[in-house]
Structure 1
């Protein structure tokens, strides 16, 4: 078995400059221009393996950022304009998600052939992996067309989307029109590149105290999916827009992680656009912020733990030069006593009057950001109110953020009592040059309550724009249609709009050097803004995406 699939190996993200010194022939997987994966044997997962290996070596865990149900921005104006009529022709759109129901009419031409140009199913080991990749199976357009004309398509191309999220996102972005369902994707003439992600390794979930049955994906597989889409763009010589409708609350929320860096690089290349969802953490009460400016130099805050959340992790990030200790007390007031910062120490605390175990990594500097990270991992938690004290060792002013996991990794019953809805953007939405998209309800022009808010932890202006994300009509596996809600749906809308701009700029030759970041700035310039708001702001970014306004402005230049 390939080590990237084998749960007896950790996948560690390391710099390409270090890879040759670790390479034994079959233990390195190239990720991108900056990083590789090092596959390290593990017999049994020890929580303190995170300590022996730095935090930033472990891939983050990502969750879905939309919900579908069986029950809908200026796009139609541009498509009806005979001088524009932009439908994504000549542009590739990539969806890195839970797969696709390739038999659905939303992904076929009128003659019944597929609009999927190429597909990589990371979960299917029965066929040939893509060139330069070591796992999964690649399916070409010809193979998918052969399957579609077969009596049993799944016997030829055995890939499905049992969750439905990827199918919904791909359809909002590029689904073929269906008049009876009042449905059309944003760019129904674009061709699709589909990456079906495998689920995260159990050893990574164990390390971050994620329940065994929780659905999540690991950062390294998403990075490889992006690279696959980029290779397809080069192979077919087409502009590309990538949609990432996934998010993670891990990390410093500063755009400095492995995936952020790769996306940032690609967004500055001609003909490559990347759109990511802001996340759905705006009203989950999973972020806490404190700034202590005067004596006494400590801050007490409270975490309510629901009865169904027996295990999870939590992160506290401060700013240099502050050095902080942490003290955790249970509902019956047993305490760990203060845990002071160190370089790579991992401490285990077992409580006497309840069965809870806590692992504390108080790392004086996290290697990617240089800031202090306190990682808390709880197991067999006692429900109720937990008490935390963060204290400045030098008795100086300090500030810190704390985040709980994203998505369904915990229930809504676990939250901070004095939470803060800001700085809740999920990765990779904190990076500088990708288009980070918030979600709003276009029926009443209100932001979605769950839409994550900016700015980033280091003050970068994010999200960039807001796009419709409430009950958008979408394809549902099994030839059905439903609705999808969330910032993932908004990101799909925005991805289609970026594809329209790249069609105008590159396919039609109006501006062949157009980068994804250039498109983002044009969309920001053309955004609709309300006179009652100040822009940019941490909820709407620079305003509501409006591609018609963008082209009106271009026409006047």
Structure 2
């Protein structure tokens, strides 16, 4: 078995420049020019393996970010304008998600042939591995068409979407019209590149204390999926829009890290756009912020742990030069005593009167940011209110943020009592030049309460824009239709508009140098802004996307 699939190995992120130093022939997987994976044998699993290896070397875990009108964002107006009539023709759209029901009519031309140019299913190991990759199976347009014309398509192309999230996102972005269902994707003449992510390794879930029955995906596979999309687009010499409707609350929320750095690079290249969801963490009470400017220089965090959460992790991030200790007290007031920052120490604490075990990594500087990061991992915690005392070692002013996991990695029974809804945008939504999309209810022009809020931890403006994201009609597996709600749906909608911009600029030859960042700025320029608010702001970004206004401003004499 390939080591990237083998749960007996950790996948550690390393700099690609260092990969030859560690290469023994089959223990390196190339991700991109910045990062590679080093596969090392686990042996006897130990939570403090995270400590011997830095937390930033383990790929972050990602969850899905979605659970009705095109008029609201001006899409129909532009498509009905004979001088524009933009439908995404000539543009490739890449959806990196849970796969696709390729048999659904939403992904087929009027003659029944597929609109998918290529599928890479990372979960199937029986087909042809894509060139320059080391696992999974690739299915070309020709093979998919052969399957569609057969009596048993799955016997030829066995890829499916048992989850339905990827099918929904792909259809909102570019699904073929169905008048009977009052359905049409935003860019229905674009063609698809589909990447079906494999689920995160059990060993990675174990190291971050994620229950094995929770579905999540690892950062390194998203990077590989992105590189695959770029590779296929280069093969066809066509512009590509990449849609990522997933998010993670791991990391420093600064827009730095392996996937963010890669997406940032791509968005500055001509013909490559990236639309990512802002996340749905706005009202789950999973973020805490404190700034202590006067003595006494400590702050007590109250964390309520629910009965259903028998294992989970959380992160605390501060800014240099403050050095923070943490003292953890259980509901029955047993305490760890202050834990001081170190370089790479991992400590295990158990309590006399309950079954809780807590692993603490209080790292003086995290390698990607240089900031202090405290990682707490709870096993069998006593339900109730826990108290975390954060204190400055040098009796000086300090501030810090803390985040619990995103999505359904924990239940709603675990939350901060004095939570803060801001700075909740998930990775890679904090990436500087990608389009971070929040969701609003297009029926009443209100932001979805669940939508994550900006800004980044370092004050960078995110989200960029708001798009419709409430009960959008979408395809679901089995030739059925349903609705999708959330920032993932909104990101798909915005990705379709990016495809329209690329069609006008690159396919039609009006501006061949158009980068994803250029297209983002055009969308921001054309956004609708409510005079009651000041913009940009941390809820709406620069306003509601409106593609008709975008082109009116772009083409005005």
Q: For the superposition of Structure 1 and Structure 2, which TM-score range results when normalised by the shorter chain?
A: over 0.9
Give the 5 Å matches for 1:323-472.
Answer: 323-472=323-472
**Local SS of the residue matching 2:249:** coil
Q: What is aligned with 2:190?
A: 190
**Local SS of the residue matching 1:276:** strand
User: How big is each residue's C-alpha offset from its partner over 1:266-304, in whole Å with a ceiling of 9 and x where there is no partner?
Assistant: 000000000000000000000000000000000001001
Residue 546 (structure 1) aligned with residue 530 (structure 2): no
Q: Distance in 2 between matches of 1:412 and 1:293?
A: 32
Residue 314 (structure 1) aligned with residue 314 (structure 2): yes
Q: Distance in 2 between matches of 1:368 and 1:90?
A: 38
Q: Distance in 2 between matches of 1:18 and 1:57?
A: 13
User: How big is each residue's C-alpha offset from its partner over 1:474-512, in whole Å with a ceiling of 9 and x where there is no partner?
Assistant: 001000000000000000000000000000000000000
Q: Distance in 2 between matches of 1:481 and 1:52?
A: 48
Give the 5 Å matches for 1:229-378.
Answer: 229-378=229-378
Q: Distance in 1 between matches of 2:144 and 2:226?
A: 21
Residue 152 (structure 1) aligned with residue 152 (structure 2): yes
User: How big is each residue's C-alpha offset from its partner over 1:31-81, in whole Å with a ceiling of 9 and x where there is no partner?
Assistant: 01100000011123211000100111000000000009xxx9110000000
Q: What is aligned with 2:114?
A: 114
What is the CA-CA distance between 1:98 and the residue it aligns to? 0.2
Q: What is aligned with 1:10?
A: 10
Q: What is aligned with 1:480?
A: 480
**Local SS of the residue matching 2:73:** coil
Q: Distance in 2 between matches of 1:381 and 1:178?
A: 50
What is the CA-CA distance between 1:17 and the residue it aligns to? 1.6
Q: Distance in 2 between matches of 1:273 and 1:48?
A: 39
Q: Distance in 1 between matches of 2:398 and 2:411?
A: 30
Q: What is aligned with 1:59?
A: 59
Q: What is aligned with 1:227?
A: 227
Q: What is aligned with 1:42?
A: 42
Q: Distance in 1 between matches of 2:18 and 2:328?
A: 37
**Local SS of the residue matching 2:548:** helix
Q: Distance in 1 between matches of 2:450 and 2:482?
A: 20
Residue 511 (structure 1) aligned with residue 530 (structure 2): no
**Local SS of the residue matching 1:67:** coil
Q: Distance in 2 between matches of 1:45 and 1:162?
A: 31
C-alpha RMSD of matched pairs (Å): 0.9
What is the CA-CA distance between 1:128 and the residue it aligns to? 1.1
Q: Distance in 1 between matches of 2:452 and 2:173?
A: 21
Q: Distance in 1 between matches of 2:381 and 2:342?
A: 25
Q: Distance in 2 between matches of 1:86 and 1:44?
A: 57
Q: What is aligned with 1:90?
A: 90
Q: Distance in 2 between matches of 1:138 and 1:147?
A: 14
Q: Distance in 2 between matches of 1:103 and 1:223?
A: 27
Q: Distance in 2 between matches of 1:45 and 1:59?
A: 17
Q: What is aligned with 1:27?
A: 27
What is the CA-CA distance between 1:105 and the residue it aligns to? 0.2
User: How big is each residue's C-alpha offset from its partner over 1:365-392, in whole Å with a ceiling of 9 and x where there is no partner?
Assistant: 0000000000000001111101110000
Q: Distance in 1 between matches of 2:164 and 2:353?
A: 44
**Local SS of the residue matching 1:408:** coil
Give the 5 Å matches for 1:129-144.
Answer: 129-144=129-144
Q: Distance in 2 between matches of 1:182 and 1:417?
A: 44
Residue 80 (structure 1) aligned with residue 80 (structure 2): yes
User: How big is each residue's C-alpha offset from its partner over 1:102-131, in whole Å with a ceiling of 9 and x where there is no partner?
Assistant: 000000000000000000000000111100
User: How big is each residue's C-alpha offset from its partner over 1:434-477, in whole Å with a ceiling of 9 and x where there is no partner?
Assistant: 00000000000000000000000011000000000000000010
Q: Distance in 2 between matches of 1:3 and 1:555?
A: 53
Aligned residues: 554
Q: Distance in 1 between matches of 2:372 and 2:431?
A: 20
Q: Distance in 2 between matches of 1:45 and 1:230?
A: 36
Q: Which aligned segments of 4 or more residues in structure 1 are displaced greater than 6 angstroms?
A: none
Q: Distance in 2 between matches of 1:38 and 1:336?
A: 35
Q: Distance in 2 between matches of 1:181 and 1:126?
A: 36
Q: Distance in 2 between matches of 1:234 and 1:103?
A: 26
User: How big is each residue's C-alpha offset from its partner over 1:339-368, in whole Å with a ceiling of 9 and x where there is no partner?
Assistant: 000000000001110000000000000000
**Local SS of the residue matching 2:402:** strand
Residue 199 (structure 1) aligned with residue 184 (structure 2): no
Unpaired stretches in structure 1, ≥5 consecutive residues? none
**Local SS of the residue matching 1:18:** helix
User: How big is each residue's C-alpha offset from its partner over 1:197-249, in whole Å with a ceiling of 9 and x where there is no partner?
Assistant: 00000000000000010000000000000000000110000000000000000
**TM-score relative to the length of structure 1:** 0.99
**Local SS of the residue matching 2:374:** strand
